[in-house]
Structure 1
Amino acid sequence: MRERQLIPYFDKEKPFFLFQNRGSGLMCPSENTPLILNSQNFLHARNLLGQEFEHILFDARTTLNLDALAIAIGTLKAGGTLVLWLDSKDHIDLDSRRWSGVEKGIITPNFNRHFYRLLQSFLFLSEHSTPSFIGGRIGPPLRNHHQSPTIEQQNIIQKILTSPADVAILTAKRGRGKSALLGMLSDEIKHKKCWLTAPNKSAVKTLQDFAKQPIIFIAPDDLCQQIQQDPTQYQQDWLLIDEAAMLPLPVLHQLVSTFERIVISTTMHSYEGTGRGFLLKFLANLHRTFQQFELIEPLRWAKGDKLEKFIEALLLLEAEDNFIQPEYDPQTAMQIRQISQSEIVKKIVDFYGLLSLAHYRTTPLDLRRLFDAPQQRFYLAENEEYLLGGLWLMQEGGFQSMALIEKICRGERRPQGNLVVQSLAFQANLPQACQLHSLRISRIAVQPKWQQHGLGQQLIQTLIEQNDVDFISVSFGYTEALFHFWRKCGFVLVQISSYKEASSGCYSMIMLRPISVAGECVVKKAQVYFQRNFPFSFHPLKKKFTFPLDCQLTDDDIHILKNFAFFHRTLFSSIGAIRRLMAISDVQHCPLLMDYCQRKEKDVQLMGGKKNWLKQCRLEVAHLLTQNNIV
C-alpha cells in the first residue's frame, strides 16, 4: 500500500493545487473536490465514521478540533492526502471555547508546542515550514472493502464460533477490519437468530456491507426495554454489539445478561475515550464466561503508517498502555504534593495515562484542558519511581456581579465554566455559592493495584488541609460505592439530577465538603434544601434517600416559584415549592399540574409539544401565586 500524506499548509489561498488528481495534472475545485472539514462542520465529523476518502482538506486556521482531526485521519485511504491548513501566528483557538471555561476562548501555547514538535519529528514540517509530500503520487482509487476475510480475521471468526465462552470480546485499533469481521461472522452463524446493536445505527454501515444477509438492528435502549419485559425471548439467540465501549456500562451489562452468545467489539486507543480502562471496569462486573480476541494488522493503510503513529502521539493514545503499574507496597515512602500546571505539562504522558486507566471516558477534550485551560490545580501521590494517584481540580466561584448571579438563578444566563456553583445557584436557589471561592474535583485517579488501600482518602485529606477555599465540590455518576466513598471523605449530598447521564448511564450527584465558616453555611443550606425538597419529587432514587416531609411554604419557596413562573427555572427543581403551594390553594384551574403530581401520563404533543406544555405549567403556577396574593 502507498503511504498516506499529511501536508501542513500556511498560505491564505485555498490549497486545492496540493491535491494530485489520480496520477496526472493538478486538481481543481470542480473535479474530484476533496472532503472539506472546518469549524462549521467539525461537530458532525462523527458521521464520517465507516467511510473512506482519498483527499481531505482540514481547515484548522481558527479552530483545531482534535476529535475531528482524528476522525479525518481515520477515514483517509492508503495513498490519500490530508492537507492541514494552519495559521502560523499566535491566535485564540476557538475550539477552546468548548473546554477552557472562557467564553471568548484562549491562546493555547502548551498544546501548540506539543503539536508543532510532533509535526517536525514526523517530518511533516521542515524547519522553514515548507509543505512537502510524504510518499508518491496518488494512484487509482482503492477498493472500498476487502470482500473476503484475511487470514487473521478468518482465524478469529473460527475461534469465536467454536469458543465455549458466553461472551467474545474483540478489540482492535481503527482500520483493522473489526466491523467487517462482525459482518462476516454473522454469515457463519447457522440455525440461530442474530441481532445487532450499536450506539449509532449509521455507524454500522461497514458491518452491514460485509454481511451477505441483512442483520436485524435494534437500538440499545429498545433492546434493554424488551429484555426487561421478557428476558427469556433471546435465550437461544446471538447478539453482536459494535463499539460497545460507547455504551453506558449499566446498559452493556443488561445487554449481555440474557443472550446465548454475545460478541462485543470495541476500539482500543480510540479518540472517543475508550481504552483498556473500559475493559477493566466492564470485566469487573461481568458474571459470564468470556474470551478476548485482538486484531493487529491494519487493512485500510500500511503497517507502520506514519499518520497513525502521528495521531497516536498527538492524542497520547499509547499513554495508557505504557503507564507503569507497580504492585501495592504498604512500606513504600509516598509523598502527596500540589504541583503547577507547567509541571503537569512536563508529566503529561504519565498523568494522562493514569487518568485514562482510571476513567476510560478520558478524551482529547480533557487533554486540551490539561495543557492550557486556566484556573486548574493538581495534586500528585508519588513514590521515588512511580506516579500512584492524582487529583485534578477546577477553581470555581468568586463572582462579583450580583446582577449576573440573579440571571443565573433565573436561568437567563449560563456562563462558561463554574459548573457546580452555577448548578447550586440555579437548582438550589443558592446565589451565595457563586460568590464564595471553591474547588471542584474534576477527577480523582488511583493506580488500579493501589485502590482500596486508602490512597484516595489521603489525597482528599491533603487537599482539605492545604486549601483555604470556602468549600470543595464533586459531581459524579451515582453508584453506591462512589457515594459511600465521598461520604467517608466528609462530603454531604446536595443534588441528584433528574435524568441519567448519556455517558455513564447513571444519575449525576453533587456532594460538598465545607472548609470555611462561610462555606459551612452554604453547604448546610444546600443540604437542607435538598432534604426538604427531594421527598416531593418523583425521582426513581427517592426510596434510597428518605427525609421527613416539610409542607410549610417559606419565603425561599416563594422566590423559587416566581423564578419558575416568570423565568426559566426547571419544573424538577421547583416541584417541592409547587406542591407546597398547591396544598394551600384551590387547584381546580390547574389541570396540568394536577395530572403531573398524580403521575397521569399525558401526550404532551396534544398540547403543542413539551415546550408549550411547560409554558402552560408556568402559567398555572402564576395563577396560584395571584390567587394567594403572593404576586
Structure 2
Amino acid sequence: MIAALAREAKREAEAANERRVLVLAGDRDRGIDAAYDAIEAVEDGGRGGSTAVVSTREGFRFEEHRPRNADELLGRTREVVVLDCHERFVPNALGRCVGAVDGGGLLVLLTPALDDWPSVRDRFDDSLAVSPYEVGDVTGRFRERFVDTLRAHPGIAIVSLGADGPEGDAVERDGLTGETATGSDAVGRPTAPPDATFPAATYETCLTTDQARAVRAFESLATPGNAVVVEADRGRGKSSAAGLAAGALALAGADVLVTAPAFRNAAEVFARAGELIESRGVDGGETAAGGGARRIDAPGGGRVRYRSPAEAAELPGDPDVAVVDEAAALPVRLLEAFLDGSLSVAFCTTVHGYEGAGRGFAIRFRERLLDGPLAVRDVRLDEPIRYARNDPVEAWASRALLLDARPAVDEAVAGTTVDEATYRALAPDDLLADEALLGEAFGLLVAAHYRTEPNDLARLLDAPNLSARALVAEGRVVAVALLAREGGLDAETRRAMYEGERVRGNMVPDVLTSQLRDEDAAGPRGLRTVRIATHHAVRDEGFGSRLLDEVHAEFGAAVDYFSVGYGATPRLLRFWDRAGYRTVHLSTSRNDASGEHSAIMLRPETEAGRDLLARHAAAFRDRERDGLSDAHRDVDPDVVVGALRACSASVPLDLTETEWRSVVGASFGPGMYDSAPGAFRDLAMAALVGGSDLDQREERLLVRKVLQGRPWESVADGLGYVSTAACMRALGDAYEPLVERYGTEFALREWERFISD
C-alpha cells in the first residue's frame, strides 16, 4: 500500500513538476521500514543516489545528515528527502529539507501518531526547557499547528502506521491533487536581446524570463557607479543569474569580487560563472578544500573571486564589480562598505527564506543605498526554477513555518498615533487561535532581526521562559516585544555556571557570571528584551518607548531588573539610555548576526537589582579605561561615547599636582599630551561617563587618541583635521572645559596663570 501511494504521489509530482509530501505517522521503526518501501518504489531499484535522510540515527544506505546539520542540504537538490521527526524535530531542519526536494520529488516525514504528537517531548523540547524550567513545562502548540497544516493542505499524503505491522496501516489522506503540467511549462528558453552586451550564451542558459531580466539588469554593472538589487523567494534562480552575469563580466575583462555569509551560499554563483567561462574554451581556477572553485580566471585578465564578508568589505585588489549574495543575512555595517562610487555592485537577497534572513537589508540598508552615490536598479524574480509556480508544498511550508510572515500593510497602520494603541499580551493560545495576529507579530519580529528562523516560531509558541507583548491599533500589531525571564537560579546552578557550565536561556546572567566572574549574578530575577520591533510605517513616533514603559509597569513588581543585549549602534544606545538602561558590558568581538559589538544593559527595579548594576557598572568603567586601548581599540567612537554615557558608575579623579600641571599646560600653554597620558585618560573617562559639553568631533577625538591610543596621523586623517598639528591643538582645546569642570583648586590656580598672562 505505501509503495503504491508513493508511486502515485511521485507520478503526479513529476507530471505537474511539483513536489509532494508523504507522512508516515506512528512507530519509529515501522516508519523507517515504510520509508525504505517508499524509496524503493519511486527510485530505480532503490539505489539511493538521489535520496537524503535527516535523522539522529545512523546506518542508512543513503546520504545522511543530522538534524542540527541539515543546512548541509542548502544549495543541493534530491528526488527524495526523508526527515525523521521522532527523536529531535527541529523546525529549521524541516525548512532545509523542503528546500532540497526538486520538482517531481518527494518529502517523506516520519512522525509519531499525529493525534499524539503535540504531547510528545523530544530533544528539541529539551532545548526550550531553560533553567529553572523543565521539559514538562514546554507546550506542544507548534506541533499542534503543524499537524493541522499537514491535514489541511493539498499535496500531503498521510499514512497511520499499524502497531502490529503493514496490515494495520491506514491511509488518512492520499495527497493527490489531480494536477498536471500547465501550459507555462512548455515556454521556451529566453534568447538574448538584440542590443545585449553579454554573450548570447548568458541569456540562452537562463531557465525563465525572470532570470533573463535579471541578467539584463546586470549588464549595467559594466559601468562604475551602478547598483542592482535582486530579490527573490527561494528557488527562483537569483544566484544562477548573478553567476552568469559574473562570468560575462569576467569575460569582458572585469575583476568580479563575490561575497556571501559563507562560500556555500555563493557556490551556485561560481558554478554558473565557471560554466559560462568554460564554454568559451577556458578551464582554470583555484579550488578550496571545501569544494568548488573560489577563483575563476577568464581570458583577457578578468576573474571571479570569493572573499569572506569581512575581507570583501575592504575591497581587496580594487575590484571593478562586487556581487553580494544573501545580502539580507549580512550586517548593514558591512554592506555599507560596498557603497563606493568607484565600482558597481549587485546585492542579491532571499525574501521569506528558511535560512532565517531578516529584513535589515530591506528596511535599514535601503535608505542608505538610495542616499548613496550609486544609481540603483531593482529586479524581483517570482517564477520558480525547480518546480511549478503553484507547487502546493511551497505554500504548505510557507504557512507551516511562517516563511511568508509580514507585518501589517503600511496603509493599515500609517498615521496611527501612540495614544491610539492598546497594550496587550500575546498569549501563545491567542496566537495559535488567530493566524492573522500570529503572522503580523512574527512578521514584525522577522523585520527587527537579521536572522529570525523557523525555530523561533516554535520558541514563541512553546518556550516556557518567553512571553510576548504588543501595541495594537484597530486590530493591527504596530509594535511587539519578545521577553525572556532570566535569573532566579539556585546556588548549585549558579556555582556550576561560575565554573563554566552553560545554562541555556539565561544570556545576561551567564555573561555576568561566567565571563565577568560574579557568582551571585544569576540570583536576582531578570526580564530580558530579546527583541523589540516597531512597524516601519510608524517608526520614530514613540511606539517603542511606549511599549517598554508598559512592560516596565506590568513586570516591575515581579523582577529585580530588566535587561537587554544587542548589537550596539549609537542610535540604539541612545534609545536604551533614554529608557533607563545602563551599560554593564561591551563584547570584545563583533556579533555574527549584527556585525556590531554587543552591549548588555540593565535597568534595576529592587535593591538586589541596584546592587547588581552598581558592581557591574563600576567593573565596566574600570575595564574600559584600559580595554579601549586593547580589545576595544577598533570600536566605533560614537559607540564608545554612547556606551560610556549610559554607564551609571561615576569616575573618581585623583590626579597629582604634577599630572594637573601637564593637563593644564597642554590645554592652555605649551605642555604636551605625552607627558601624562594616564591623567588625560582619566579625565576623558570622567567627561564621557558624566556627560560632556563637547561637540561630537571633540568626543571622537578623546576616544580615538586618548582612550584608544591611535597614532596622531591616523586620528587627524580619520577625523578630518588639516594636519597633525591642528589635531594636537584641537585636543588641547577640548580639555579646556574639562579643566574648568573637574580641576582642583591647585589646577584652577595653575589655569589662572595662563589666562592672566
For normalisation by structure 1, the TM-score amounts to 0.79
Deviation per residue, 1:36-91 (Å, 9 max, x gap): 11136122222222221111111111211122211111121111111101112432
Say whether residues 1:155 and 2:213 are aligned partners: yes
Q: Which residue of 468, 478, 482 maps to 1:392?
A: 482
Residue 16 (structure 1) aligned to one of 19, 23, 36: 36
Structure 1 match to 2:737: none
Closer/same/farther in 2, CA of residues 32 and 406 from structure 1, 3 Å limit: closer
Instruction: Tell whether 2:399 aligns with 1:313.
Output: yes
Q: Is the 8 A contact 1:500 1:506 kept in 2?
A: yes
Q: Does residue 472 of structure 1 match 2:562?
A: yes
Q: Please name the residue that 2:92 is paired with.
A: 67
Q: Name the residue aligned to 1:607.
A: none
Q: CA deviation at 1:420?
A: 0.6
What code does the residue aligned with 2:386 have? Answer: R
Q: Provide the residue aligned with 1:285 in structure 2.
A: 368
Question: Given that residues 494 and 530 in structure 1 are in contact (C-alpha distance below 8 angstroms), is that contact kept between their aligned partners in structure 2?
Answer: yes
Letter in 2 for 1:153: Q
Summarize deviations over 1:149-204 as a string: whole Å, max 9, x none: 13322223223314886210101111111111112112332242222222222332
Mapped contact 1:173–1:270 kept (Cα < 8 A): yes
Taking the aligned partners of 2:418 and 2:499, their CA distance within structure 1 comes to: 54
Counterpart CA distance in 2 for 1:494 and 1:388 is 30
- Paired amino acid for 1:356: V
Instruction: Spell out, residue by residue over 1:403-446, the C-alpha distance to the aligned partner (whole angstroms, 9 max, x if none).
Output: 331232232x2222111112112233333331111111111111
- Residues 31 and 138 (structure 1), Cα distance of their counterparts in 2 relative to 1, 3 Å cut: farther
What displacement does 1:549 show? 7.8
Q: Is residue 2:403 matched to residue 1:345?
A: no
1:319 aligned counterpart, secondary structure = coil
How many angstroms apart in 2 are the aligned matches of 1:339 and 1:133?
Answer: 34
1:364-412 CA distance string (max 9 Å, x none): 1211110100022322212233211122111111112x2331232232x
8 A Cα contact 1:6 1:134, kept in partner: no
* Alignment match, 1:409: 498
Q: Does 1:265 pair with 2:348?
A: yes
Shift of 1:23: 7.5
Following the alignment from structure 1 to structure 2, what is the Cα–Cα distance between the partners of residues 16 and 188? 45
1:197 is aligned, of 244, 259, 264, to 259
2:522 match: secondary structure: helix
CA shift for structure 1 position 136: 8.8
Q: Structure 1 CA distance, aligned partners of 2:349 and 2:178?
A: 33
1:183 equivalent in alignment to 2:243: yes
Shift of 1:115: 0.3
2:524 aligned residue (411, 436, 442): 436
Please show how residues 320-399 of structure 1 align to structure 2 within 5 Å: 320=406, 323=409, 325-330=412-417, 333-346=420-433, 347-399=437-489
Q: CA deviation at 1:134?
A: 3.7
1:588 corresponds to: none
1:466-615 → structure 2 map (5 Å cutoff): 466-467=554-555, 468=557, 469-537=559-627, 538=630, 539-540=632-633, 541=635, 544-545=640-641, 548=651
Q: 1:147 touches 1:210 (CA, 8 Å); kept in 2? A: no
The answer to whether the Cα contact below 8 Å between 2:80 and 2:101 also exists between their aligned partners in 1 is yes
Residues 1:249 and 2:311 aligned together: no
Counterpart for residue 94 of structure 1: 123
Residue 296 of structure 1, CA deviation:
0.9
In structure 2, what is the Cα distance between the partners aligned to 1:452 and 1:550?
A: 38
1:451 aligned residue: 539
Paired residues of 2:485 and 2:527 also in contact (CA < 8 A): yes
Asked if the contact 2:23–2:108 (Cα under 8 Å) also holds between the matched residues in 1, the reply is yes
**3-state DSSP of counterpart to 2:420:** coil
Could you say which residue in structure 2 is the equivalent of 1:34? 51
- 1:464–1:515 Cα contact (<8 Å) kept: no
- 3-state SS, counterpart of residue 494 of structure 2: helix
Q: Residue 390 of structure 2: which of 304, 318, 322 is its match?
A: 304
CA distance 1:192–1:493, change in 2 (3 Å): same
Matched, 1:423 2:423: no
Shift of 1:220: 2.1
C-alpha spacing 1:117/1:495, structure 2 compared with 1 (3 Å) = same
Residue 23 of structure 2 contacts residue 110 of structure 2 at CA under 8 Å; is this kept in 1?
yes
What CA deviation, in whole Å up to 9, does each residue of 1:319-348 have, x standing for no partner? 216655521233862222344332343432
The yes-or-no answer on 1:115 pairing with 2:146 is yes
> Which shows bigger deviation, 54-63 or 336-345?
336-345
What's the TM-score once normalised by structure 2's chain length?
Answer: 0.66
Structure 2 contact 460–467 (Cα < 8 Å) conserved: no
Within 2, Cα distance between the matches of 1:135 and 1:383?
Answer: 40
8 Å CA contact 1:395–1:437 kept in 2: the answer is yes
The more displaced of 444-453 and 331-340 is 331-340
The equivalent residue for 1:166 is 226
Q: Check conservation: 2:24, 2:111, Cα contact below 8 A.
A: yes
Paired with 2:406 and 2:94, the residues of 1 have a C-alpha distance of: 21
SS of residue matched to 1:307: helix
Q: Say if 1:459 and 1:395 are closer, same or farther in 2 by CA, change over 3 A.
A: same
Cα separation, 2, equivalents of 1:337 and 1:317: 25
Partner Cα distance (2:418, 2:576) in 1: 26
Unaligned 5+ segments in structure 1 are: 140-144, 552-597, 600-631
Give the aligned residue type for 2:37: F
In 2, distance between residues paired with 1:359 and 1:42?
24
Cα distance in 1 for residues equivalent to 2:589 and 2:482: 26
Residue 548 of structure 1 and its aligned partner are, at CA, apart by 4.7
Structure 1 residues 473 and 216 mapped into 2: Cα distance closer, same or farther (>3 Å)? Answer: same
Q: Is the 8 A contact 1:240 1:264 kept in 2?
A: yes
**1:354 offset after TM fit, Å?**
1.6
Q: Is the 8 A contact 1:323 1:353 kept in 2?
A: no
Q: Which ranges in structure 2 are unaligned for 5 or more consecutive residues?
A: 1-15, 57-64, 161-169, 182-201, 278-295, 297-303, 645-649, 655-708, 711-757
1:48 aligns with 2:106: no
CA–CA separation in structure 2 for the residues paired with 1:405 and 1:320: 40
**C-alpha distance 151-486 of structure 1, shift in aligned 2 (>3 A):** same
Rounded Cα–Cα distance in structure 2 between residues aligned with 1:222 and 1:23: 44
Q: Percent identity?
A: 25
> Shift of residue 481 of structure 1?
0.3
**1:100 Cα deviation from its structure 2 partner:** 4.4
Cα distance in 2 for partners of 1:252, 1:311 equals 30
Q: Distance in 1 between matches of 2:551 and 2:538?
A: 19
The amino acid that maps onto 2:53 is I
Per residue, is there more helix in 1 or in 2?
2
Residue aligned with 2:521, SS? helix
Aligned residue for 1:45, secondary structure, equals helix
**Aligned-partner SS, 1:17:** helix
Q: Deviations over 1:4-59 (max 9, x none)?
A: 121000243322111255687xx54x554721111361222222222211111111
Q: Distance in 1 between matches of 2:315 and 2:439?
A: 43
* Pairing 1:294–2:384 present: no
Q: Which residue of structure 2 lines up, in the alignment, with residue 80 of structure 1?
A: 105
Q: How many angstroms apart in 1 are the aligned matches of 2:50 and 2:430? A: 45
